[in-house]
Each structure stands twice: as C-alpha cells, then as structure tokens.
C-alpha cells in the first residue's frame, strides 16, 4: 500500500513538469471539506443500514432500513454534484465544425471502403449469402413468438378430459349429486380421475329456474333440471371465472351472470354462456350434463366448443366431438 | 384508457360515499310503553316498509321483494347496515347512516320474522376461527369480488363493498343470504366453523402488516406504478434540471 502511495506521489510529481492540458484551478477548500463530510456521512448512513439489519425486529424496521439506505444514496449524490460543480475544473470549448475537411474525409473513407474490397471477385454471390444469413437470423429471432399463441398446436383446446359418463367432482374429489347444486350460488367442478390442472378440466356449475333457460338450438338437453355447466376458463385471456352475480330481487337488479375478475367479461349462464359485457370475443363453452341412477352428476359429452382464450380463426372452427 | 378511467372512478368513489346520505324520511312511530315488540314492529313496518314490501311482507311486483320467508337474518342485516329503508328501490342497497334506533330495529326484526318461517340471526365466534384456514376460504369464495385485502371492488353492474366496517354478525348474515348480487353460501358450502375462520381472517385484514409502511389502498401494482411515475420520476427530472446546464446555442 505504501509502495502504491509512493508511486502515486511520484507520478504526480512527474506530471507537474509536463505541460498542462486543463488550466490550473484555484483550490476551493470549503467545497472540498463539504464533499469529504458528505461522503463520511454517507458512509455512516450505509453502516447504520448494516447495524439496523443486524439488530432486526425493531419497530418500523423496514422504514428505518429504507431511510438509512436512501439517505446514504442522497448524500453520495450530493457529494457527486458538489464535486462536479465546484471541484472539477471545467471549461467550455466550441469550435466550428470544419465543413471542407469533412468532405475530404468522407471521400477518403469511400475510397478506403472501395479499395478494401479489391480481393472480392464474386461480389453478387457474397451479397446474396450475406442476405441469406441476415434473413435466417431474423427468422430465428422471430420463431419463439410462435409459443405466444396456439397457431400450430390448438388440439389441447379441443381435447378436454370430459367424456360421456365422467362424474363431476369438487376440489377434494367428492362427486357432486345433482341435488347438491343449490340456486343462487355457484360451484367449481372437475372431471373425476383426471388432471384438474388441464385447461379443459375446471367447470363452473350453477342452478337456474328451468323456465329461465334459453339455450341455443341443439343444446336444449345440455342443462339438467336447470343446472348448467360451463368451462371455468374465460374465453378472453384465460383467467378463472370466479365471480357469480345473482339478483336478490330480479325486477330491479342485473340478471344472473358469470364474471371474470381480470377484465370483467360477463357471461350469461341462461343463454349458453353468451357475452353480456367485456372483452371476451366468444361464449363460454358449455358442458352437457346428465344424472345417473344414483343421482350423481355426469358429463354427457365434451364441451360445446374449444376451451380457453381465443386465437386467430377460433370462431370459424366448429366444435369437435 | 378504460383502465385509467376505472381507476380514477375507484379513487373518486370512496370520497363520494363518505358524504352523509340525505335523510330518507324515516317515520318514527310513537310507541306506547308496554307495547309488545311484535306489535311495535308492525306499526313501524306499516309506516316505513309496506310501501315497497307490501302488506304483511307479501312484496310488490316492481319495488320490493316479499319478506315472509327471509326471517330475522336478512331483516337484521339490511336494517343494521342502514341500507333499509332505501330511498330508491332501484339503487344498490349500501351501508349508510343507521336512522332507526336499536329498539326500532329489534321491533321490526321481531315483526318480519313472525311473518313466516325463515333463518335466525347467526352468531359467529371469530375467536374460535383459524386465520390461515380463513384466508384459504376467503381466497376461494370471497376474494374474487371483495379482493384478498377485503377492500371491495367491482362486479359488472354493482359495487362490491369493503368489509372494514362489517360486524361479525353482518358478515355471517351476508354469507348466508347473499345480499344484492352476492351469491348465497349455504351451510353445505361454508360450515359455521368455517364461517368463524372467515371472520377471523377478515379481522386481520383491518390491521394489515404493511411492511412497506404505505399501503396505497392495497390495490396492487397499478397505484404503486403511479407513485413511481408521478412522484419519483418528477423528482428525478427536477434534480436533473437543477444540476444540469443547458448548452448555449449561438
């Protein structure tokens, strides 16, 4: 360390003798002192952070830690500002840009570039190869974007684990009886003995008055005694439909609806999951229901359409069996 | 843009709600001492409730539902939050200043529950609940609308109330009856013991552990981002202007 210091002093002396580039500034001792004090205070605050961290379990620990670190950074910034403003010798230099010289320079550079290519004989081929390389690299950079949407692989949105006869179970695996499903509330259900994490697994169950149901043509038998089941995955962005609004007094209140909490897409369970409000572009897929001899709820087939968020062309696709 | 508007609306609404509601014209019927509670309730009912809810709780077609099956539970809920009597039956009933006295409310509950069989007022015991189990239940059944911080929010067509002022009994009543657009949760879906845990969890949301010190409404990253951009960025630009120097042009 001492050696290093000596070396530094030696260097400094040597430099004194050379001709100066930056003009000598008058020393500003008060500013220098202030900078030193600021830096020392900064060090103190930073050390206070370490001490507070070690002490732990103080009241307002987080606030104290934040204050210590924040004040330390502020003091450091203040010191830097003071150095920049008062201690470093500055001068402003302005020179007109030499136009003439620039012309000569550009010409020169053009010639250098031109002449450097004198070894190349098949210029066009080289340019084409370069284009091929750049184009392919660009393509490679864009390729991962395919993972953003199911452009090429949309099968899993049709292949739900629901098959005819599969029982509906709750999150603990207990099968639902049709009589378990009460009005004015909603239930989440999953296919028995299938992965509940699959996008096609979760459904939401509600019971309405059979007389209030107006299901689309061909889906009249999807409901069972007023019980309807829809995919729990919103067709907009794939959030879970976790809101059910039900009117207490129907004449003055909004109609029953399934609502997605992410962007407030609102679906009508009485009309086949049609969109009442919000950004969703297509209805919720409906699951046909049936009841077995013991009263358990079972699926009568697969969903009425593809499950999950929409993608290009999904509305034109017809439901697959 | 729509998000921003919704946010501004969300920020503006609590201040609107804080203003005192106009007097809804309660009729305080003079009741002779010694009148049976039910009879006093009948008189109050005739004066304050019958216009919308009809004679003997039969309801009217467009203004009010029938009350002969709601029991003490729903009656106590709506009266104790001050939502009834309501000025406009087409508005969402919300918590406001309670204008009926405790005795008047008791009398009305006694009268309405005598109109037909209905559920009794529940008595949850938050002390017996388990906060951790309550949080799981709240996440599963309530947080979709009420937010995990129980700050309330929106569902299309209605405001979802915050739960900061709700008493344990009111929470239990709301769970069992589903006021306005809220779903009903029966004893099969949420048992009484689970209800204890739910109330215990809601208690903890009133004194949240805000390690950072500034909750910014507990509504997540959007207001936090706004603080960064509107406060921190402005300060930063100000400091830049202060310490920097504009290059002179001649």
- A306: phi then psi, degrees, rounded to nearest 5: -65, 145
The tally of CA atoms less than 13 A away on the side-chain side of residue B152 is 15
Q: For A256, name the nearest residue in chain B, comparing CA atoms only.
A: B181
How far is the C-alpha of B124 from the C-alpha of A31, rounded, in Å? Answer: 69
Res. A320: pLDDT tops 70: no
* Bridge partner residues of B236 (DSSP): none
* CA–CA gap between residue A235 and residue A66 (Å, rounded): 43
Distance CA A87, CA A27 (A): 8
Q: Does A58 touch chain B (CB under 8 A)?
A: no
Give B165's contacts (C-beta < 8 A, 6+ positions apart). B95
Q: Mean of the pLDDT values across residues A270-286?
A: 91
What pLDDT is recorded for position B2?
A: 54
> CB-based burial of residue B17 (10 Å sphere; 0-12 exposed, 13-18 middle, 19+ buried)?
middle
Nearest CA in chain A to B59: A249
Separation CA B23–CA A286 (nearest Å):
48
Tokens found for residue B165:
């002022």
pLDDT at B7 (0 to 100): 52
Pick from A131-140, A238-247, A248-257, B84-93 the range whose average pLDDT is largest: A131-140
- The token pair at B186 is 């029966």
CB atoms within 10 A of CB A132: 10
Report CA-CA distances (Å) from A122 to A112, A113, A118, A136, B25: 19, 17, 11, 21, 96
- Out of A183, A253, A277, name the one closest to residue B180 (CB): A253
Q: What was the pLDDT predicted at A166?
A: 92
Q: Which of A60, A182, A257 sits opposite B156 (nearest CB)?
A: A257
Our CA-based measurement puts residue B178 at a distance from the nearest CA of chain A, in whole angstroms, of 7
| Interface residue A277 vs chain B (CB under 8 A) | yes
DSSP helix/strand/coil, A240? strand
CA distance B39 to B107: 8
Of the candidates B206, B198, B149, B131, the residue with the CA atom closest to the CA atom of residue B169: B198
pLDDT at A44: 94
Taking the whole predicted model, whether its pTM rises above 0.80 is answered as no
Q: Which of residues 20-49 of B touch A (CB under 8 A)?
A: none
Name every chain B residue with its beta carbon within 8 A of the beta carbon of A252: 62-63, 89-90
pLDDT 10s digits, A162-193: 989 999 999 889 999 999 898 889 999 999 98
Q: Are A10 and A3 in contact (CB under 8 A)?
A: no
Q: Which residues of B touch A278 (CB under 8 A)?
A: 156
Q: Which of B86, B47, B80 is nearest to B65 (CA)?
A: B86
Question: In this structure, are residues B90 and A251 in contact, taking their beta carbons and an 8 Å threshold?
Answer: no
Q: Residue B234 corresponds to which tokens in the numbers above?
A: 């402005």
Q: Report how far apart, in Å, the C-alpha atoms of B83 and of each of A285, B96, B184 are.
A: 38, 6, 19
- Phi and psi based region of residue B20 (left: phi greater than 0; alpha: psi -120 to 50; beta: remaining): beta
Helices (H) and strands (E) in chain A, counts: 5, 11
**CA–CA distance, A1 with A26 (Å, rounded to integer):** 30
Cα–Cα distance between B81 and B99 in angstroms, integer?
10
CA–CA distance from A56 to each of A59, A68, A158, B61 (Å)? Answer: 9, 14, 54, 64
User: What ipTM goes with this model?
Assistant: 0.71
Tell me, yes or no, if B180 comes closer than 8 A to chain A by beta carbon. yes
Res B21: pLDDT:
43
Backbone φ and ψ of A183, nearest 5°:
-70, 165
- Provide the b/e sequence for A9-20 (b: ≥16 CB within 10 Å): eeeeeeeeeeee
Using the Cβ of A274 and the Cβ atoms of chain B, whether some distance falls under 8 Å is answered with no
Q: Which residues pair with A188 in a beta bridge?
A: A204
List of residues 6+ apart from A242 with CB closer than 8 A: A232, A260, A261, B143, B144
How much of chain A is in helix, strand and coil states, percent to nearest 5?
40, 15, 45
Please state the three-class secondary structure of A76-135 as a single string: HHHHHHHHHHHHCCCCCCCCCCCHHHHHHHHHHHHHHHHHHHHHCCCHHHHHHHHHHHHH
Q: What is the DSSP letter of B57?
A: G
B186 with A182: Cβ contact below 8 A: yes
Question: Which of residues B162 and A321 earns the better pLDDT score?
Answer: B162
C-beta separation of B182 from B170 below 8 A: no
Question: Quick one: B77 exposed, middle or buried, by C-beta within 10 A (0-12, 13-18, 19+)?
Answer: buried
- In this prediction, residue A77 carries a pLDDT of 92
- Which has the higher per-residue pLDDT, A60 or B15? A60
Would you call B183 and A184 a contact, using CB atoms and an 8 Å cutoff?
A: yes
The whole-number average pLDDT for the span A220-224 is 90
**B33 CA to chain A: closest CA distance, Å?**
36
- pLDDT digits (tens), chain B, 250 positions: 455 555 554 554 444 444 444 445 778 877 777 788 888 888 888 888 888 888 887 788 888 888 888 888 888 898 888 888 888 888 888 888 888 888 888 888 888 888 888 888 888 888 888 999 999 999 888 888 888 888 888 888 888 899 988 899 999 999 998 888 899 998 888 899 999 999 999 999 888 877 777 777 777 778 888 888 999 999 999 988 888 877 765 5
> Which pLDDT tens digit goes with each residue over A15-39?
555 677 777 788 888 989 999 999 9
Closest CA to A309 of A70, A148, A131, A113: A148
B119 touches chain A (CB under 8 A): no
The full DSSP string for B149-194 is TS--EEETTEEEPPSTT--HHHHHHHHHH--TTPPP--TTTS-HHH
Looking at beta carbons, which pairs linking B212-217 to residues 24 or more positions away fall under 8 Å? B212/A62, B213/A60, B213/A62, B213/A63, B217/B151
Q: What average pLDDT does chain A have?
A: 84
Helices A29-55 and A61-82, axial angle in degrees (round to 10): 160
């Amino acid at each position: 360390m001492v050696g290093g210091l000596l070396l530094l002093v030696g260097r400094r002396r040597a430099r004194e003798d050379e001709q100066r580039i930056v003009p000598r500034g008058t020393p500003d001792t008060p500013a220098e002192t202030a900078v030193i004090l600021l830096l020392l205070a900064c060090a103190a605050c930073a050390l206070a952070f370490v001490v507070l961290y070690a002490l732990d379990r103080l009241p307002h620990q987080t606030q104290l830690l934040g204050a210590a670190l924040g004040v330390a950074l502020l003091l450091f910034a203040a010191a830097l500002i003071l150095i920049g403003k008062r201690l470093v010798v500055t001068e402003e230099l302005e020179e007109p840009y030499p136009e003439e010289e620039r012309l000569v320079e550009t010409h020169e550079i053009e010639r250098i570039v031109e002449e450097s290519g004198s070894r190349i004989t098949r210029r066009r081929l080289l340019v084409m190869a370069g284009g091929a390389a750049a184009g392919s690299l660009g393509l490679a950079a864009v390729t991962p974007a395919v993972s953003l949407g199911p452009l090429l692989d949309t099968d899993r949105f049709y292949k739900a684990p629901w098959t005819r006869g599969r029982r509906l179970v709750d999150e603990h695996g207990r099968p639902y009886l049709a009589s378990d499903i009460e009005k004015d509330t909603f239930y989440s259900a999953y296919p028995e003995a299938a992965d509940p994490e699959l996008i096609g697994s979760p459904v939401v169950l509600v019971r309405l008055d059979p007389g209030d149901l107006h299901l689309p043509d061909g889906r009249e038998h999807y409901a069972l005694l007023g019980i309807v089941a829809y995919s729990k995955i919103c067709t907009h962005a794939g959030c879970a439909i976790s809101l059910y609004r039900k009117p207490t007094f129907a004449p003055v209140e909004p109609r029953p609806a399934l609502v997605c909490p992410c962007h407030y897409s609102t679906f009508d369970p009485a009309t086949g999951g049609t969109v009442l409000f919000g950004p969703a572009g297509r209805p919720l897929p409906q699951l046909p229901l049936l009841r077995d001899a013991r009263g358990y709820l079972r699926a009568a087939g697969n969903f009425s359409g593809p499950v999950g968020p929409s993608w290009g062309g999904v509305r034109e696709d017809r439901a697959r069996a | 843009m729509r998000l921003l508007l919704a946010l501004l609306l969300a920020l503006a609404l609590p201040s609107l709600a804080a203003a005192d509601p106009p007097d809804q014209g309660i009729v305080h019927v003079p009741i002779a001492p010694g009148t049976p509670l039910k009879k006093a309730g009948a008189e109050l009912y005739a004066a304050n409730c019958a216009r919308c809810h009809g004679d003997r709780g039969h309801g009217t077609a467009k203004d009010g539902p029938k009350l002969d099956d709601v029991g003490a539970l729903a009656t106590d809920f709506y009266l104790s939050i001050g939502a009834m009597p309501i000025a406009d039956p087409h508005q969402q009933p919300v918590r406001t200043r309670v204008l009926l006295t405790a005795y008047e409310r008791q009398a009305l509950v006694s009268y309405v529950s005598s109109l037909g069989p209905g559920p009794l007022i529940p008595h949850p015991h938050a002390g017996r609940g388990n906060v951790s189990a309550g949080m799981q239940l709240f996440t599963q059944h309530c947080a979709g609308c009420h937010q995990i911080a129980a700050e309330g929010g929106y569902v299309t067509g209605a405001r979802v109330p915050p739960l900061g002022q709700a008493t344990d009994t009111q929470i239990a009543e709301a769970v069992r009856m589903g006021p306005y657009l809220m779903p009903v949760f029966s004893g099969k879906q949420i048992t009484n013991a689970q209800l204890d845990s739910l109330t215990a969890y809601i208690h903890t949301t009133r004194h949240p552990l805000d390690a950072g010190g500034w909750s910014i409404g507990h509504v997540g990253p959007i207001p936090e981002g706004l603080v960064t951009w509107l406060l921190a960025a402005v300060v930063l630009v100000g400091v830049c202007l202060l310490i920097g120097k504009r290059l002179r042009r001649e």
